[in-house]
Structure 1
């Protein structure tokens, strides 16, 4: 079964008509291709939180129009003759976002029949000027711009070291002006929190999950630390089947050194998936396969540093695990506050940065979803300063009580790089992720991989390709959404009973909760008492910039993916006792 991005305006009514219109737009834009199997009416109704009759009505209408076909035993699929519009690009050559009918095409095609102009989905697209990202740079040698570029170690006062061969290429990440240091001090911390994007390796060794204490955490019977999926749920048999199917037909030539951008068939499958589920503007040429989001981010920071950027804006609070890696790239970090609507774009504009890392779908750790107004303001900021948005699509797969939110990259694909992985949806051990980027950035990412690690493992890429193609990935995500929702419900209800003075945030999506403790609570003492009771939890203070941490409400970040409902309830009871003991002196 296929997962879908179908936003609904519930206040407008006529939900069946809205669902049908969403499917039509997806077919016309190419996000849903002929033969794609759709969810059952029952599953889609559950996902959209509507009655099954609403979905049945929409499916029947689309079947009558010829967009869908339904066969007993084979479910409902996009009709074989359904195909996208013939899209004409705007005069400046900038691509239209997916789902937006071309302003220059007078017809859309279906089954060989021409129809009148389609209804505009989401208004008239803005005409974007062609963004110039610079001219030429050189990996490891002397740039034609003058001066060497560097990837890896922290630059030394304008004298970066050289790595790799003298490979020249064009389209550097230059945005029309030289970045000026904002004067923002660099803020680092040894605290390792398991949320946001996970960054393993040496930086995570020997550090307690709660923050600055370097002593190992005591053994815990109940582990509520965030950042890990249910690893016991990894679909071993289906993955083995996908790997066997891929190996059975894999040409011998594919066992050589891979395309540094990733095997073409996986890039094609991911482009289709991300366009369909995340409303991304993704074609295979914009996709680069990375070894997880961590490598994608590390590579992008190296490219930014090489092209003159000196400051990177990041959310505050944010995952502490990624801070040392970002600082090692030689960029100053400007911490930008997050409130109930997401990142504060006005504060971002004052930071002096022209690149920002955000988690708009489910901010880590607060769980806030970037509001529509802030999304528009963030895109406007990027255009105004000739900047770049790095979008970590954290926790986007797991939503429970809200309509799907499309990615920022689909709004302005020339200003946003979308980063994602299967670390939360499948397992971090696979080390498979992706970056969807503007063409000039894609070229540099491919070349960066070619001179640093020669590309990602091939067999795992082909196995993921088959897993996506067969529908196994969609089925696994549906299973995990149901499982995680039940666990979230159990933990949230138990926290309400045993921590009545706490405020639970971020419940609508993801695999963690942000729990603001009662006023006056001693966060560190609660973490310690919980550990003595056998419950491992993470305090939120290490996630804030030190200048704001003192004023931030005491809070815990609780992961719930790895335990069943009964154990989660017991863990909440013990945690409540730890807080009560502290309140009682």
Structure 2
């Protein structure tokens, strides 16, 4: 009989030795492993336990295991590898191993998908250096359970960075680390709902696909505030009786405008007067190409604004790293909500990002990527001017996407459908409006496409729509 124990190596291999049987032990062992290989339970490449470890677990001499392994090697079921490892050999499996598939398989030949950083430029070498330093230098207690706010090293590094680059008024004790903007928003709305909030205001149009499902789950109503070239209509905001406002003041999503100075001040006054909370989504402002980006609204009213940022647009969305800078009275409740949600974000990722920030690697990465994205945006503007000159670009020179307003003779849904039939992925604006959109528009993401691919995609779209324009005057492009 094998020895008992939940971690038994023999149990993992489904090996059972009958010492009362006349069949030698090494043959019983060989039969059990052979059956596992033939059934596919031990697939190609599976490493078997070392002979000494398995012998000790079975309570037999090492020679029994060695003899069984040698027989299976001779039969082609196993192979001995360098370093003394024994693995299931090639040809011992009847079905091929599945090939890993892309996380998001491509559906279009040219995809102007928006909201994506170019993850092929992720700074792997610098990130790896930070991981090594963390594993070498960080005290062991950092790998235990921490409170819901996250690790102190990242609080310090982020507050220094945000105050320097985004003009926030952030202190380490006001920060909570989360898994991206969606989770940060969910934590905030849960806390607000528990405190009596009943209505959330959002920009119209906006990326409220995060807000609406969370609000519906919590029983909160969502109301839209119209967006113009200079941001939301503050006069309408005054009439909403909202308990919170989700806002993208430094680069409105998706239209690309900037909230005007008088409107920024008016939003801050509204929040102070009503006791409402402004949730500032600062999603991609590091990518401003013509001047320094507008400072965060949080710096103007730190007790009325909850600032939310992430590494999704600047580094990679797969990192699932986000942060909140909160008014003092919300820090404790949001941290408690984070603990209840998932016991805290991964510590190693937080510590790595803290080191990455503190050593200036994040700044270097942004400096390297800004000209890359700027060239791609310029390529898009140039192609639109040449092939689709009646498509009107909107917004400031910033970010990873561009909105274009459609001419009145084109229907947005028809354009999107026609583009898709011709292998071109582009999104319409209508889905981001709460009401009826005043005019049709398209969202072109350019961050993940090369300049020639961008030009080819716009040319093919023009052909699919039956429109081949002439080159617009240079100042028509520069004005965007």
Pairwise same-fold verdict (TM > 0.5):
yes
Q: How many residues align?
A: 365
Which residue number in structure 1 is paired with residue 116 of structure 2? 228
Unmatched 5+ stretches in structure 2: 1-103, 470-480
Shift of 1:582: 11
Which residue number in structure 2 is paired with residue 352 of structure 1? 241
* 2:205 is the counterpart of 1:317: yes
Match of 1:413 among 297, 302, 305: 302
Which residue number in structure 2 is paired with residue 515 of structure 1? 404
**CA-to-partner distance for each residue in 1:2-29, whole Å, 9 max, x for gaps?**
xxxxxxxxxxxxxxxxxxxxxxxxxxxx
* 2:367 is the counterpart of 1:478: yes
Which residue number in structure 1 is paired with residue 314 of structure 2? 425
Shift of 1:259: 2.7
Shift of 1:300: 0.4
**CA-to-partner distance for each residue in 1:229-268, whole Å, 9 max, x for gaps?**
1011111111111111111102111111123101001100
* 2:450 is the counterpart of 1:561: no
* 2:430 is the counterpart of 1:572: no
Deviates more, 1:416-425 or 1:572-581: 572-581
Shift of 1:447: 1.4
Paired with 1:354 and 1:261, the residues of 2 have a C-alpha distance of 24
Residues 103-118 of structure 1 aligned to structure 2 (within 5 Å): none
* 2:229 is the counterpart of 1:343: no
Which residue number in structure 2 is paired with residue 548 of structure 1? 436
Residues 95-494 of structure 1 aligned to structure 2 (within 5 Å): 219-322=107-210, 323-494=212-383
Shift of 1:403: 3.4
Contact 2:388 2:468 (C-alpha < 8 Å) held by counterparts: no
Which residue number in structure 2 is paired with residue 154 of structure 1? none
Shift of 1:321: 2.6
Q: TM-score, normalised by structure 2?
A: 0.74
Aligned-partner SS, 1:580: coil
Shift of 1:581: 5.8
Contact 1:526 1:578 (C-alpha < 8 Å) held by counterparts: no
Aligned-partner SS, 1:450: helix
**CA-to-partner distance for each residue in 1:53-100, whole Å, 9 max, x for gaps?**
xxxxxxxxxxxxxxxxxxxxxxxxxxxxxxxxxxxxxxxxxxxxxxxx
Contact 1:317 1:543 (C-alpha < 8 Å) held by counterparts: yes
* 2:382 is the counterpart of 1:496: no
Change (3 A) 1:320 1:280: closer
Structure with the higher fraction of residues in helix conformation:
2
Which residue number in structure 2 is paired with residue 88 of structure 1? none
Contact 2:388 2:467 (C-alpha < 8 Å) held by counterparts: no
Aligned-partner SS, 2:466: helix
Residues 48-63 of structure 1 aligned to structure 2 (within 5 Å): none
Aligned-partner SS, 1:463: helix
Paired with 1:284 and 1:232, the residues of 2 have a C-alpha distance of 32
Change (3 A) 1:450 1:218: closer
Change (3 A) 1:465 1:346: same
Contact 1:503 1:515 (C-alpha < 8 Å) held by counterparts: yes
Contact 1:488 1:507 (C-alpha < 8 Å) held by counterparts: no
Paired with 2:144 and 2:324, the residues of 1 have a C-alpha distance of 23
Q: TM-score, normalised by structure 1?
A: 0.61
Which residue number in structure 1 is paired with residue 74 of structure 2? none
Which residue number in structure 2 is paired with residue 173 of structure 1? none
Aligned-partner SS, 2:363: helix
Change (3 A) 1:247 1:397: same
Unmatched 5+ stretches in structure 1: 1-215
Aligned-partner SS, 1:515: strand
Paired with 1:362 and 1:284, the residues of 2 have a C-alpha distance of 25
Aligned-partner SS, 1:328: helix
Paired with 2:248 and 2:272, the residues of 1 have a C-alpha distance of 19
Paired with 1:374 and 1:406, the residues of 2 have a C-alpha distance of 14
Contact 2:271 2:278 (C-alpha < 8 Å) held by counterparts: yes
Which residue number in structure 2 is paired with residue 61 of structure 1? none
Contact 2:202 2:208 (C-alpha < 8 Å) held by counterparts: no
Paired with 2:119 and 2:280, the residues of 1 have a C-alpha distance of 25
**CA-to-partner distance for each residue in 1:282-312, whole Å, 9 max, x for gaps?**
1100111111111110000001111111100
Aligned-partner SS, 2:163: helix
Paired with 1:394 and 1:294, the residues of 2 have a C-alpha distance of 11
Change (3 A) 1:532 1:581: farther
Paired with 1:492 and 1:405, the residues of 2 have a C-alpha distance of 23
* 2:421 is the counterpart of 1:532: yes
Contact 1:320 1:542 (C-alpha < 8 Å) held by counterparts: no
Shift of 1:531: 1.2
Aligned-partner SS, 1:338: strand
Change (3 A) 1:310 1:582: farther
Paired with 1:505 and 1:295, the residues of 2 have a C-alpha distance of 30
Contact 1:298 1:329 (C-alpha < 8 Å) held by counterparts: no
Shift of 1:218: 8.2
